[in-house]
Amino acid sequence: MADVHANTTRIAVCRHCNQLLSRPDIEIRASVIPDTLGCHGLGPSQAVVVEETVTATLADIAELDQEISRLQAALVELQCKRASLQSFANAHQSLLNPITRLPTEVLSRIFQQCIIVCWLDKTDVPYRYERFDDTPLKIAAVCRHWRNIALSTPRLWVAMTFMLRPKDIKRQIKLAQMWISRSGNAPLSIHLSSYANYRDPMRKFMVLIGSTSGRWRHFYCKISLPMLQCISSIKQRLPLLETLMFNFWEEDDKALTTPIDIFAQAPRLRTLRAGRDINHLSITLPWKQLRTIIHRFREYPAQNLRDLLALASDVEYYDLHLGEMTGSMAVSSSHSPATVQLENLRSFAVSFRGSDPVSFFKAVHMPGIQSLSLATTKNVSWDIMTPCLVSICSQSSLEKLALNTQLSIYDSGDSLPSQHAVQILKAAKRLRHLEVPESGMSFMSAEFMEIFGQLDPSGTPTLGPNMETLLFCQHNNIDYELVAQALLSRCLPGRPSILKTITILCFQTQTLKVIMDKWQGLPCWGQLQSVGIEVQVREWNTYESWW
């Protein structure tokens, strides 16, 4: 208990006898000779009095020191006891936590959701410096119950990422052994890369990883040829492999004399993400099985590309970045078909950096294409390119078209002219999404907007009648009032607009509000909202590019 005076000073008292703990019996003495303090003029009798006073005062100080030590010891003991009681309360309070009532199966499923294999989500071949994910260890360290669940959940231990180098290999072997043993028989996702092109094959580690090949589901590697040779035994032992991400060290690629064939037989392989310049001449794969391919080429013979496409003719999603394409895509013999038939191809994202896209599209037939994203840095002759795109749009069920001839604001490629945009959209009867994220002069001219807003006799828009979204870049020459009027002209009275979303990309953050204010200040802004047209203004760098 404590007594509180009017000045709100808190006074500690004994809870048993209600006596003050501040020792009121010890008072600060008044000097018996105040007039002589600070000088040396004491007489013999005064000196005796002062000596007695000092002795008594020091005795009081010693007694107070003992009292302070006693109270401090009591305080320490009380603090320790409080900490113990708090720990006891927390431990028992946790028993009332709703999470403790979750069934073990539910907790196990939640823990599995914590394991995110980031390198599988990347559209490009993953950057080789990936961090080892120790999430399972963190989960197991929370409490005994969670540890038991973690150890009994094999799928929690299926993802392994190793950045190999000889000085770390002993520790990495122990980690790999722990993960492998705890993953049971679950399919594995393994990411192997190295800091450098080591000649040391690190055989013990590679043999350990290779022994699990029957459980590989997703596999990435950028390791040296000597290390690859250590896992040559995995050939014909890849029954579960679905995704292969493969990359060479450049000097190994040049030194390769025969294709790597350890992945030649993988009955479930469907996805290939190949590093720069990886092709059918450097690696043997069941190309016919592949449904998703991501390729990067710096300089590549056109005939080799044609042969590669012919091998992977059942591909459904193809992401191709092509540098300088040498030679011609024309047929090499009279026995070869005039075009490569990609009848199952549904999505094609292609970037030509220095290559001519026209010859490529003339050599490829894609009747089932639904999404086409085309980017090029080379000056495009739209008089030649447009007929190719018109043919693709008219002969397929194309639903999404993205075009960009300027891959940065510094590119000088020719932007899509408005008259060519008209030809393409007239042919694209099923097109639902059009994206033109070019930084140059926009095709959104007054002439284009006039035609864009026209209806045929049946009341159907002449250009892109099924278009639902339109994306383009901000340009000072765009008249947004004309754009708005064209959008409204595409709507029949009393019916909502088929075109629902207009997205405008801006290169500068401060421009976003300016453009949005322009739209909201238009006299027809309310009409646009009433027919269901949404206008979005975004930064250019938020656009998910394919080039």
How high is the pLDDT of residue 369? 94
The answer to the question of residue 57 being in a domain is yes
Judge whether 143 lies within some domain: no
For residue 454, the one-letter residue type is Q
- Are 263 and 236 a contacting pair, CB within 8 Å? no
Cβ atoms of 109 and 150 closer than 8 Å: no
Flag residues of the chain having pLDDT under 50.
Answer: 1-8, 124-128, 334-335, 412
Residue 244 DSSP symbol: E
Q: What is the CA radius of gyration of the chain?
A: 38
Q: Average pLDDT over the chain, rounded to whole?
A: 85
Which residues 6+ apart lie within 8 Å of 276 measured at CB?
A: 247, 296, 297, 298
Whole-number pLDDT of residue 7: 47
Q: Residue 51: inside a domain, yes or no?
A: yes
Nearest of 364, 372, 320, 311 to residue 342 by alpha carbon:
364
Separation of alpha carbons 254 and 198, rounded Å: 16
Instruction: Output DSSP code: residue 455.
Output: B
Alpha-carbon distance of 503 to 468, in angstroms, equals 11
Expressed as residue numbers, the domain containing 79 is 2-33+44-95
| Length reported for the chain | 547
Rounded distance between C-alpha atoms, residue 471 and residue 433, angstroms: 8
Amino acid (one-letter) located at 270 = R
d(CA 451, CA 461) in angstroms, rounded, equals 9
Q: Does residue 447 fall inside a structural domain?
A: no
Please report whether residue 471 resides in a domain.
Answer: no
DSSP of 279-316, one letter per residue? Answer: -TTTB---GGG-SEEEEEEEEEEHHHHHHHHHHTTT-S
Alpha-carbon distance 418 to 398, whole Å? 20
| pLDDT computed for residue 359 by the predictor | 84
Burial 482-492 (b: 16+ CB within 10 A, else e): bbbbbbbebbe
CB neighbours of 320 closer than 8 A, spacing ≥ 6?
293, 295, 297, 348, 349, 350, 351
Judged by DSSP in three states, 84 sits in helix
Residues 6+ apart with CB under 8 A from 475: 440, 441, 442, 444
Indicate whether 160 belongs to any domain: no
Q: First CA to last CA across the chain, in angstroms?
A: 75
What is the reported pTM?
0.77
Q: State the Cα–Cα distance between residues 205 and 359, nearest whole angstrom.
A: 47
Strands 271-276 and 243-246: parallel
Task: Count structural domains, the chain.
Answer: 1
Both tokens of residue 395? 């002969």
pLDDT at 543: 86
The bridge status of strand 292-301 relative to strand 317-326 is parallel
Nearest-angstrom CA–CA distance, 342 and 350:
15
pLDDT in tens, 78-101: 999 999 999 888 878 877 777 777
For 282, phi then psi, to 5°, come to -110, -20
pLDDT score at 270: 97
Domain contains 24: yes
| C-alpha span between 209 and 216 (Å, rounded) | 10
Beta bridge partner(s), residue 461: 455
Cβ proximity of 213 and 231 under 8 Å: yes
Q: Yes or no: say if 546 and 349 are a contact pair by the CB < 8 Å rule.
A: yes
In a domain, 8, yes or no: yes
Confirm if 384 and 358 have CB atoms less than 8 A apart: yes
Alpha carbons 50 and 60: distance in angstroms, whole number: 15
- Residue the block writes with tokens 């009081």: 60
